[in-house]
Structure 1
Amino acid sequence: MVDVHYQRVINATPQVLRDTLLDHQNLSEFFNASFKVLRAENNSEVSGGVGCVREVSILGVSFKEEIVKADTDGIEYRVVDDFPVKDHRGVIRFSAQGSLTKVSYRISCWAPWYIPNWLLTRLLQHDIAQCLNKLGARFDPR
């Protein structure tokens, strides 16, 4: 199993961070991928939240992710099918610290037989670190 984790303190509230990360059309600002909403969130959920299915395209590969949790405590999503990885789960947690928020991002999954665990670990670690660093830079008061 591959399990990667990255944390960063960001100068924004949990609600602002949640709303920013649920703005699927603009996530390419933080990831080297494009995102397209295929199904909107369930009734009475926050925009882009629980029930939303998005298509992610990266390096010529497309797959679907579904938002399974979205509130001011965090966001959780899963890859709908077992492609390109199995049992992919992303968990982003928000912990308010005054005017700052500690963001913890974890991805766990099983690599396919043709991708070594170490390589997938490195790719995913790079992606989540890049995401949180770019997200942090967006709210940096400089």
Structure 2
Amino acid sequence: MVSINLKCTLLAPPEKVAAVLLEHAYLGRFFNAQFSQLKSHNKGEMKGGAGAIRQVKTPLAIFSEQIISASNKYICYRIMGDKPVANHQGDIYLTPIEHEGNTATGLRYCITFKPPWWMPSSLIKLFVKHDISQALNKLARYFKEHNV
């Protein structure tokens, strides 16, 4: 199993960060992929939350992800099926913190997955970690520039 843990600080409160991360069709602003929402959230869940399914198109693969749980403090999703990796789960923890007198968010992004047998774990870990790091940097810039 591969595990990746990344952290960043975002200049917005957790509820705004969660809302942006659950706008599935617009995640391409941050990640190197195209996203489209295939299924809406379950009745009674927050917008884009539990039950929502999104399709992810990357240059190398097309796959679907399902939101398992979502709140202003935590988002959990998983890749449906075993491609491009197996047992993939993403856990995003959103913690309110104070930053220069305002409420900001401490974000911790944890990913676990099993790579294909033919691909070295260290190589795919490096690729995914780099991609997610870039996305978090874009997300941080977004909140800095939009002053939300």
Partners of 1:6 and 1:115 in 2: CA distance: 22
Structure 2: state its 5+ residue gaps.
none
Partners of 1:123 and 1:140 in 2: CA distance: 26
C-alpha displacement of 1:10: 0.9
Q: Amino acid of the residue matched to residue 119 of structure 1?
A: L
Moved >2 Å (runs of 4+): none
Listed as ranges, the matches of 1:54-133 within 5 Å are 54-98=54-98, 99-133=103-137
| Match in the other structure for 2:10 | 10
Whether 1:39 aligns to 2:39 is yes
Whether 1:140 aligns to 2:106 is no
C-alpha displacement of 1:125: 0.5
Partners of 2:64 and 2:135 in 1: CA distance: 19
Partners of 1:59 and 1:90 in 2: CA distance: 20
Partners of 2:60 and 2:10 in 1: CA distance: 31
C-alpha displacement of 1:60: 3.8
Corresponding residue SS for 2:144: coil
Does the 8 A contact of 1:51 with 1:66 survive in 2? yes
Partners of 2:110 and 2:59 in 1: CA distance: 21
Partners of 1:114 and 1:11 in 2: CA distance: 40
Count of paired positions: 142
Structure 1: state its 5+ residue gaps.
none
Partners of 1:28 and 1:43 in 2: CA distance: 26
Q: Amino acid of the residue matched to residue 144 of structure 2?
A: D
Question: 1:63-96 CA deviation, whole Å, 9 max, x = no partner?
Answer: 1100001101111100110111010000110010
